[in-house]
Structure 1
Amino acid sequence: MSRMIFVNLPVLDLTASISFYQALGFSQNMQFSDATAACMVWSDSIFVMLLTHAKWQTFTTRPIPAQGSSEVMLALNADSIDAVNQFVATAGAQGGKVDVNPPQDHGFMFSRSVLDLDGHLWEVFWMDPAALTGDSQ
């Protein structure tokens, strides 16, 4: 079995969060979704589990971080700089907060950040494929 990641995120409004993530290009796996949780699929190996606060609390007694705090920054790669910009524009149009961290342009890598409806921090980046293989100068 290939390695996968399931990112679990507590959300206040499950329906609104599903719509937000669908607008960004995630699809919903109904097999692992119900009235308390939604499995949102980014790729064959990346899944985001949106959990109501009540559902979240069945997994851990640790508190949900307060709005305005960050415990993690989740990063997704995009196929191009244009795709990064489109992702961020769509997130903003769907109620997310864009460029909460300044955009980064290192030539071989470009990134921007967004907060989803619940303040979860996402970074979307493009990296020159040559930089990944060590072929860039």
Structure 2
Amino acid sequence: MPRSIFVNLPVSDLARSTTFYEALGGTRNPQFSNEGGACIVFSDTVYAMLLTHARYGEFTTRPIADARATSAGLYALSCDSIAEVDAVVASGASGGGRADPNTKQDHGFMYGRSVEDPDGHVWEIFWMDPKVAAGGQG
């Protein structure tokens, strides 16, 4: 079985955040969603767990950070093309997020933009030349 990643994020408005993550291309899995959280599936191995502050607080004794004021992590999501990067960022912005809170990057072999969710969590949306990703020349 391949390893999977579950990114757990505290959200202030579960419905609003679910709308945003579905706009990014995720699908809500009702089997692992309830009034305390929503499981958003991006692929067979990538999931975002959106948790209300009350539910998130059950997993930590630390205070919940204000992601608009601090940065504790940047989450990256790959795309198959530059056009898809632009489309995902636009969808995220129209789904309640903010496009390009960080500078757009174009290195020729890699292109990236970012989108901020309604709670301030930043997702880097990127494309990398498949030859470079496989260890070859770009």
Q: What is the alpha-carbon distance in structure 2 between the residues aligned to residue 35 and residue 133 of structure 1?
A: 41
Contact (CA 8 Å) 2:11, 2:53: kept in 1 or not? yes
- The offset of 1:134, in angstroms, is 2.8
SS class of match (1:30): strand
- The offset of 1:133, in angstroms, is 2.0
Aligned equivalent of 1:116: 117
The alignment status of 1:34 with 2:54, answered yes or no, reads no
The alignment status of 1:9 with 2:4, answered yes or no, reads no
TM-score, with normalisation over the residues of structure 1? 0.96
Q: What is the alpha-carbon distance in structure 1 between the residues aligned to residue 110 and residue 20 of structure 2?
A: 26
Q: What is the alpha-carbon distance in structure 1 between the residues aligned to residue 61 and residue 136 of structure 2?
A: 47
Aligned equivalent of 1:47: 47
Q: What is the alpha-carbon distance in structure 2 between the residues aligned to residue 19 and residue 133 of structure 1?
A: 34
Aligned equivalent of 1:85: 86
SS class of match (1:31): strand
Aligned equivalent of 2:108: 107
Q: What is the alpha-carbon distance in structure 1 between the residues aligned to residue 33 and residue 64 of structure 2?
A: 21
Contact (CA 8 Å) 2:77, 2:124: kept in 1 or not? yes
In the comparison of the two structures, how many residue pairs are matched?
Answer: 137
SS class of match (1:49): strand
The alignment status of 1:135 with 2:99, answered yes or no, reads no
Contact (CA 8 Å) 2:10, 2:50: kept in 1 or not? yes
Q: What is the alpha-carbon distance in structure 1 between the residues aligned to residue 45 and residue 137 of structure 2?
A: 28
Contact (CA 8 Å) 2:16, 2:96: kept in 1 or not? no
- The offset of 1:88, in angstroms, is 0.7
Counting aligned pairs with the same residue, the percent is 53
The gaps in structure 2 that reach 5 residues or longer are: none
Aligned equivalent of 1:98: 99
Give the letter for the 1:29 counterpart. Answer: N
- The offset of 1:136, in angstroms, is 2.0
